Structure formats: structure tokens, C-alpha cells
Amino acid sequence: MIMQTNFQKIKQQIKSSLFIKNASILFVGTMIVNVLNYVFNLVIARLLSVGEYGDLVALESIFLIIGVFGTTLVIITTRRVASLKARNDLQELKVFKRYVEKLCIAFGFLVCLVLLIFSKNIAVFLKTPLGPVIVLDISFIFAFISFFYAAILQGLQRFRAFAILAVVGAIGKLVVGIGLVALGFSTAGAMLGYVFPSIIGVFLIYFVIRDIDKIRINYKRPKLKIAKTHLLTLSKYFFATLCLTLLYNTDLLMVKHYFSPEEGGLYSSLAMLARIIFFGTGVIAMILLPMATERYEKKQNHLNLFLFSCGVIAAVSVLLSIIYFLFPNFIISLLFGAKYLSGADLLGYMALMMSVYALLNIEILYLISIKRFQFLWPLIIGAILQPILISYFHASLFQVIMVTFIIISGILITAGINLFRNKKAVNI
């Protein structure tokens, strides 16, 4: 009996150690990629003109918005592959891979075709050259299949390979983007560098997971059985992610449309600096979501985790916002260069807006983890109102910041009221 108990303890320690190891690999890889991506933006901002940098950030925003479909695909694939791995159902894994990769390729070509048809309209709306828009359009041929392959790696728990390939992609993005801009390809070259990880990821990850294709099978279609409740939850997550992404990017697109290219570039640089707050506190969201979900399922108190996370994010946000208000010229000169200094007076206000967004993001993730989706309608309404209100109130860049700040604050407060309305549901 004692030996059995000791065996169980050893087994539990091994599992715990494996989890910590995998989490550490994923965390380190993610942080390296985030840093390299930020370096990419800082270097490119110095190489391009202010207006050209605004073009690049606007196109990046479109990629992120459409990429929400890929995010949802990652969730479905990771869960499905992990389930098949647990059951050791290798035949089904191969069939699932072949079936979905065809769908991803077809969907990628469809998105590319639609965007190519409207390329001129997009270029006119954003006041950007047509070349970079076409680069963006073509990148979607590779984007969704790249998302899918990466999700397979996650589902198979090949975290080391996932992290290494993510870092390789980020390094390639840096080298290709900077190299092409230095050679004179300006925004189109920078855009090609931005989408480089998606392109190269298809080939690198396919090489890593090629062993799946060697499995022998005796049927052709996957046994796809998704419960209606799971599909409903997934659709809610999709719309939540889509709306958060829109709130994060729509103001950049609207500024590009209503303001001069130089003002669009200035606004983009301010947004990138303010996003340090969001990226800097993003690790808290990575930790909160699984921990809060686990405590919710075990019917344990999880509100304290949320409140602690909010406290940390608020503290970091206030500190950085104060620094941005006090030393805007120094920060902009150091990171982006003197040509972006004319937007210095707005940096502190942009930091406040991004601080509220960081709090909203953690609040939404927490509500998702405890299956409270009443926030969804205020979030959808806010995402719809943002471009409408900016189209009426855009006398200055400050006015655009304030419109977005008020909308995000309104959603944050509304979701918070709903959260604390039912004390029993949040285990207060």
C-alpha cells in the first residue's frame, strides 16, 4: 500500500515536471518571438518614412483581423489532435490532417481571391500603394494552412519544435523585412517580411509533422463529431476574439483613411509604443486563463485570481502611463526616432487607452474561462460603434483616441457590472 502511494506521488511529480517543462519552453519561445516582432517594428519604422510605416501597420491590422479565423482553427485543431493523441488513434489523425489541410488551402485561396478583387478599393481607402496590398492578399494562401500545421504541433505536444520554429520565423521576418527595405522595396518589402513566418512556417512545420503522412489508413473521411454545445461555445469565443481584435485595430484603419499619410504613421508609432503595456502584461493572461478554468471546473474560488491579475495589470499600466506622460520625447526618440516626435503630446493618452484595453482583455478572458458570455453583446455593439463614431468625430488624432477610450471603458464597466451581479457564479 505504501509502495503504491509512493508510486502515485512519483507519477504525479513526473507529470507536474513535464507540464512545467512544456510551459517553460512555450513561454520562453513566445517571449522571444514577441521581442523579435517588436524589434522588427522599431527597425522598420526608422527605415521607412512616417507615411510608409503607417501603411505597413494598417496592413498588419487587416492581417490580424482576418487572422481571427485562423485563431479559431487553432483551438479546434489543438483540441482534436490532442484527443486523438490521447486515444492513440493515428489513422484518424492522418485522415483529419488531410481533410482539414485541403479546406485550409481552399479557404486561403478564396480569401486571397476576394481580397485581390477589392485590392484597389483597399488601397484607396487606406491611401496606400497597391503593391503592399497585393503582398498581403497573396499571404493568405499560406496563412491558414500555417495556422493549422502549428496547431497540430501543439496538439501533439511537440512544444520544443513549436517554439523553435516560431523563433526561426520571427528571425526570418526580421532579416527578410529589413533586407528588402534596405534594398529599396519599402512598404512592400516590409510587408513581405511581416508575412514571412506564415509562408516559411508551412514548409518547416510540414517537414516536422511529415511522419503523420506515413501512417496507413483504410478510410478517407474523418469522423468529425462536434457537439452543438461545443460549437456554440466556439462561436462565442470566435466573436469575442473578433471584436477584441477589431477594437485593437479599427482606429488605426480609420486614421489611415481620414488623416494624411504622415499623421497615420505618427498614430501607428504611438499605438506601437502603447502596446508595450499590452504585450508586457500579456503573460498574465496566458497564466490566468488555464488556472481560472481549472478552478471553475473544480468549483473552487477563482475570483481572487482575476482580481490579482487586474491589480498587476493596473499597476504596470499606471507606471508606464506616467512614464509616457513625463518623458514622451525621450521615449519616441529612443525607440522610433526624431521624425516621429510631433506625436509626443499624445503618447500618454494612447497609453491610457491601451491600459484600459489590457484590463478589458483580461476581463473578457476571465469571463470566457468561467463560461459567462453575457459580455458578448456589449462587446459586439462597441466594436460596431467604434468605426461609426470615429467617422463622425475625427477632427484630431486626440479625438480618435478619446472615442476609442470611451468605448473600451464602457464595455469594461458593463462587463464588470455583469460579473459582480451574480456573486454566487463567481464564488465571491
* Chain segment 156-182, per-residue pLDDT in tens: 878 888 888 888 999 999 999 999 999
How high does pLDDT run on average in the chain?
85
Confidence (pLDDT) at 329: 95
For 67-219, where are the alpha helices, taking DSSP H only? 68-87, 90-117, 119-126, 130-155, 159-180, 186-208
Q: ∠64-79-81 over CA atoms, to 5°?
A: 105
Interval 134-147: pLDDT, tens: 999 999 999 999 98
Interval 14-44: pLDDT, tens: 444 555 676 677 778 878 888 898 899 899 9
Q: CA 57 to CA 263: how far, in whole Å?
A: 13
Q: How many CB atoms lie within 10 A of CB 207?
A: 10
- The three grid cell numbers given for residue 48, joined into one nine-digit string: 521607412
Check residue 341 and report its DSSP letter.
Answer: G
Interval 198-224: pLDDT, tens: 888 888 888 888 888 777 776 656 565
Interval 289-299: pLDDT, tens: 666 666 776 77
Interval 114-130: pLDDT, tens: 999 999 999 999 999 99
Interval 257-310: pLDDT, tens: 999 999 999 999 999 999 988 887 776 766 666 666 667 767 777 777 788 888
- The three grid cell numbers given for residue 346, joined into one nine-digit string: 499624445
Query: 228: burial class by Cβ within 10 Å (0-12, 13-18, 19+)?
Result: exposed
Q: What is the 3-state secondary structure (H, E, C) of 17-81?
A: HHHHHHHHHHHHHHHHHHHHHHHHHHHHHHHCCHHHHHHHHHHHHHHHHHCHHHHHHHHHHHHHH
* Amino acid found at 286: M
